[in-house]
Amino acid sequence: MSLPSLAEVEHSDWPSLQRMCETLGLNPKGRSAIVRMRVADYVRHRAHPPSWRPAREHQAALLTRLGHPDLAERVWESTIQLEAPAPRVGLGHAQLAGGFLAEAAKSFARAAQMGDASGELHRAEALAAGGDYQGAATACETYLATHARDLRALLMKSSFLARSGFEEEANKVLHTAAELHPEVALIRRTLGLALLRTGHHAAAADALQEAVHRDPKDVDAVVGRGAALLLAGRTREAIGVLREALEIDPKRADALNNLGVAYRAMGRTKSAAVNLERAAKHRESPRILLNLGKVLEEAHEPAEAVRAYEQVLKLRPKDSEAVAGRKRVGVSAKARRTPRKRVASPRKAAPTTRRKTTPSSEATTS
Amino acid sequence: MTLPSETTGRFLPSVDRLENTMRAARRAFDHGDLEGALREDDVAIQLKPEYDAAWLLRGHIFRKDGNIPGAIEAFAQALKINGESQEGWLGLASALHEVGRFEEEGEAYDRLLKIHPRSIEAWIDKGAALHALGDYREAIACYDKVLGMRPEHAAAWNNKGAALLRLGDDAGAARCMDEALHLDPDFYDAMANRVLLYRKMKRHGETVFWADRALRFREAPWLWYVKGTAHLGLRESTLAMKAFERALALDPKSKEARAGLRKAKTLHQTKDFYRGVYECFGTLLVGDPGCEECEIRARCREVTT
């Protein structure tokens, strides 16, 4: 015989209640509220208790995730034992979620002292959340002293070092991680992109080449390699790689932009303009639009160039490059726009001093 | 100097021993071996006299053993060492409660609430202390604090209901008790408070119903007595006699129960109504489908006020 649920009992009408009483062998007589209570009592006392009930630790962890760190903190505090580091870690996370960063760091440090080495990694997160990236990197180092191969710790340390301004050191840590874990393709890509950001273009191209070798469909790595080659001056190779990237994902705005810049460097202005226009269609970025403006200038399309510069000024009203570009080509564009119908009164033609401009296009590295 | 082999790895040779002793004391306490727990705890205090956890445990041991002054002293000592210990303040306050020192108990909660303003236990216990001192409005403020943080706290609803009942707000008290029993249908204290509320309202049918429910969980002579008087109101002399007899069996010195029994016997000679299967007798609700079908409806209408 299956029991009705408490919700059914609570919401059933009088005939259903009586039927329930009949089925369960209960007295069906009396005021409806009393009969309902009788059935509910029966169900409550006979229904199987749930096989799993959350312990205080589970409740505390759930409270943190549900966005009640203050309540979670209190529950974690009640679970703290003399020799167990886990509640300290949980407490630290609740404090971290509540914005009490110093307290969180202390709780994690206490967990680490009690023997849970991962406490140091949690402490690193708390310190980083407070902006102390150097402290965070040091905490990672403490953890790595006993867990030298730990990938998470290595990546965290590298990230904290980079954020505290020690980019070369961050790259070294990534190198170590890549050597210790050659099976993880992602590290090569991360290393390549980090090298690209720090200006080591040739090394970046090599690292990204390895990442692509492991996973040829890794479009981020391919695009990054294209940018690295372009910045390293290997333009022809860059064009090939960027075209490969666009075969994988034809809508990658950064690849289209870089390809445009590469074509321009090769003197193929028309191809450059086509790719930059496509890039601008996919992503309205000031950098792409500036590149497009410069290429259009070179292609002797001043009106289009002015339009590109004006688009940049809509996004960044005081962009100096766009202002200069518009000023540079503004007059001739206006001249082209004004129809020749109007007969101008004869005036002395002013000598036009053609300014020699070589607008530099820039590749985007990310 | 050569350290004993088991401690050579530690900076402080006594830490291992202290931890082991405390663990043994806790284990003995958990198993109900108060003597053993006290013995181990004494050793821990000798090893480290300023060890607040050892003093706290000592307080708990004394409290469980009924040595309340000793417990108060131990908790106070723990608080001297660590004035921010929630366990210490709660232990001290509950020990003070047991000896009826409600004002000091309230002060202990105030101190704790300064350190932990969101301590549910402190707020609810402070409310109970104020209730005991007769300051019902302040007690309600404490319960409202708890309900602000934990609206599902059945005990806070019940305590608020009890305080409102004392203040004469019967409707408010009924609402709070409804909440408490909705959240915990087997909450004895809320049932007992409901009995008192219905008795005050002279609703004998409901009084009997809720007294019956409460008595399923725990017997108390006063509950049997109240049930007996409600049966008298419903003209159920046999049931009234049984209730008073049970009250007297539990508390033979109860003069009220004896007087009630006499009244029930006198009534028995003239009237005795038999309610049969209707445990709701005396709670008639016009229009209710159950009441419409009831065989003793006419009699129920007469006794339902």
Q: Which residues contact A180 (CB under 8 A, 6 or more apart)?
A: A148, A149, A151, A154
Q: Is B290's CB within 8 Å of A34's CB?
A: yes
Selected residue with higher pLDDT from B54 and A81: B54
Q: Is B22's CB within 8 Å of A82's CB?
A: yes
CA distance A109 to chain B (A): 19
pLDDT at A360 over 70: no
pLDDT at B76 over 90: yes
Which residues on chain A place their C-beta less than 8 Å from a C-beta of chain B?
Answer: 14, 27, 29-35, 40-41, 44, 70-71, 74, 77, 82-83
B33: number of Cβ within 10 Å: 15
B289 CB neighbours in chain A (<8 A) are: 14, 32
Mean predicted confidence (pLDDT) in A212-228 = 91
User: In percent, how much of chain A has pLDDT > 90?
Assistant: 60
Q: How far apart are the first and last CA of chain A?
A: 66
> What residue of B is the nearest CA neighbor of A26?
B277
Instruction: State the pLDDT at residue A160.
Output: 94
pLDDT at B13 over 60: no
pLDDT at B262 over 80: yes
Cα A58 from chain centre: 30
Instruction: State the pLDDT at residue B101.
Output: 92
Mean predicted confidence (pLDDT) in B260-287 = 94
Instruction: State the pLDDT at residue B14.
Output: 66
Q: Is A30's CB within 8 Å of B278's CB?
A: yes
- A144 with A201, same domain: the answer is no
pLDDT at A363 over 60: no
Distance CA B286, CA B153 (A): 34
Instruction: State the pLDDT at residue B216.
Output: 93
CA distance B156 to chain A (A): 17
Mean predicted confidence (pLDDT) in A343-363 = 39
Q: Is A29's CB within 8 Å of B290's CB?
A: yes
Q: How confident is the model at residue A366 (pLDDT cuts 50, 70, 90)?
A: very low
Q: Is A32's CB within 8 Å of B288's CB?
A: yes
pLDDT at A356 over 90: no
Residue from the list A32, A74, A83 with its beta carbon closest to the beta carbon of B118 = A74
Instruction: State the pLDDT at residue A331.
Output: 53
Q: Is B277's CB within 8 Å of A31's CB?
A: no
* Element at B235 (helix H, strand E): none
Of A249, A266, A282, the residue at which a domain comes to its end is A249
Q: Which amino acid is at B53?
A: A
Q: How confident is the model at residue A2 (pLDDT cuts 50, 70, 90)?
A: confident
Q: Is A32's CB within 8 Å of B277's CB?
A: no
The answer to whether residue A257 is domain-embedded is no
CA distance A30 to chain B (A): 5
Q: Which CATH number fits domain B199-305: 1.10.287, 1.10.1740, 1.10.10, 1.25.40?
A: 1.25.40
> In chain B, what are the domain boundaries?
199-305
CA distance B253 to chain A (A): 35
Mean predicted confidence (pLDDT) in B190-211 = 96
Q: How confident is the model at residue A253 (pLDDT cuts 50, 70, 90)?
A: very high
A77 CB neighbours in chain B (<8 A) are: 86
pTM of the model: 0.55
Q: How confident is the model at residue A354 (pLDDT cuts 50, 70, 90)?
A: very low
Instruction: State the pLDDT at residue B50.
Output: 87
Q: How confident is the model at residue A68 (pLDDT cuts 50, 70, 90)?
A: very high
* Element at B224 (helix H, strand E): helix B221-233
Instruction: State the pLDDT at residue A342.
Output: 40
B185 CB neighbours in chain A (<8 A) are: 40-41, 44
- Closest residue by Cα to residue B106 from B115, B121, B93: B93
- The mean predicted confidence, pLDDT, of chain B is 91
Instruction: Answer whether B90's CB lies under 8 Å from B112's CB.
Output: yes
DSSP state of B100: T
Q: Is A70's CB within 8 Å of B290's CB?
A: no
- Ranges A231-235, A325-329, B29-33, B105-109: which has the least confidence: A325-329
Which of B198, B206, B288 has the most A C-beta neighbours within 10 Å, making it the best mutation to test the interface with A?
B288
A41 CB neighbours in chain B (<8 A) are: 185
A32 CB neighbours in chain B (<8 A) are: 288-291
Of A164, A181, A198, the residue at which a domain comes to its end is A181
Instruction: List C-alpha distances in Å: A157 to A136, A161, A192.
Output: 7, 6, 17
Instruction: List C-alpha distances in Å: B178 to A162, A217, B296.
Output: 60, 64, 28
Instruction: State the pLDDT at residue A274.
Output: 92
A98 CB neighbours in chain B (<8 A) are: none
The answer to whether residue A105 is domain-embedded is yes
Which of B293, B294, B296, B304 has the most A C-beta neighbours within 10 Å, making it the best mutation to test the interface with A?
B293
pLDDT at A107 over 50: yes
pLDDT at A112 over 80: yes
Selected residue with higher pLDDT from A65 and A338: A65
The answer to whether residue A186 is domain-embedded is yes
Instruction: State the pLDDT at residue A185.
Output: 79
- The mean predicted confidence, pLDDT, of chain A is 86
Selected residue with higher pLDDT from A256 and A328: A256
Cβ-based contacts under 8 A for chains A and B: 50
Which residue do the tokens 């009490």 mark? A100
Instruction: State the pLDDT at residue A159.
Output: 93
The answer to whether residue A152 is domain-embedded is yes
- Ranges A113-117, A148-152, A161-165: which has the least confidence: A113-117
Q: Is A40's CB within 8 Å of B283's CB?
A: no
Query: By residue range, what is the domain housing residue A211?
Result: 182-249
Q: Is A32's CB within 8 Å of B22's CB?
A: no
Mean predicted confidence (pLDDT) in A259-273 = 91
User: In percent, how much of chain B has pLDDT > 90?
Assistant: 79
pLDDT at B46 over 90: no
> What residue of A is the nearest CA neighbor of B275?
A30
Mean predicted confidence (pLDDT) in A317-343 = 66
Q: In the 3-class helix/strand/coil scheme, how is chain A assigned residue by residue?
A: CCCCCHHHHHHCCHHHHHHHHHHHCCCCCCCHHHHHHHHHHHHHHHCCCCCCCCCHHHHHHHHHHCCCHHHHHHHHHHHCCCCCCHHHHHHHHHHHHCCCHHHHHHHHHHHHHCCCCHHHHHHHHHHHHCCCHHHHHHHHHHHHHHCCCCHHHHHHHHHHHHHCCCHHHHHHHHHHHHHHCCCCHHHHHHHHHHHHHCCCHHHHHHHHHHHHHHCCCCHHHHHHHHHHHHHCCCHHHHHHHHHHHHHHCCCCHHHHHHHHHHHHHCCCHHHHHHHHHHHHHHCCCHHHHHHHHHHHHHCCCHHHHHHHHHHHHHHCCCCHHHHHHHHHHHHHHHHHHCCCCCCCCCCCCCCCCCCCCCCCCCCCCC
Handedness of CA A227, A228, A232, A237 (dihedral sign): negative
B119 CB neighbours in chain A (<8 A) are: 74
pLDDT at A142 over 50: yes
A71 CB neighbours in chain B (<8 A) are: 149
pLDDT tens digits for range A182-200: 888 789 999 999 999 999 9
A315: number of Cβ within 10 Å: 12
3-class SS at B136?
Answer: helix
pLDDT at B250 over 70: yes
B209 CB neighbours in chain A (<8 A) are: 34
Q: Is B279's CB within 8 Å of A35's CB?
A: no
Q: How confident is the model at residue A42 (pLDDT cuts 50, 70, 90)?
A: very high
Q: How confident is the model at residue A114 (pLDDT cuts 50, 70, 90)?
A: confident
Instruction: Answer whether A63's CB lies under 8 Å from A72's CB.
Output: yes
Instruction: Answer whether B230's CB lies under 8 Å from B304's CB.
Output: no
pLDDT at B175 over 90: yes
User: In percent, how much of chain A has pLDDT > 70?
Assistant: 89
Q: How confident is the model at residue A1 (pLDDT cuts 50, 70, 90)?
A: low
Q: How many domains does chain A have?
A: 4
Mean predicted confidence (pLDDT) in A208-228 = 91
Residue from the list B19, B279, B293 with its beta carbon closest to the beta carbon of A82 = B19
Distance CA A304, CA A230 (A): 26
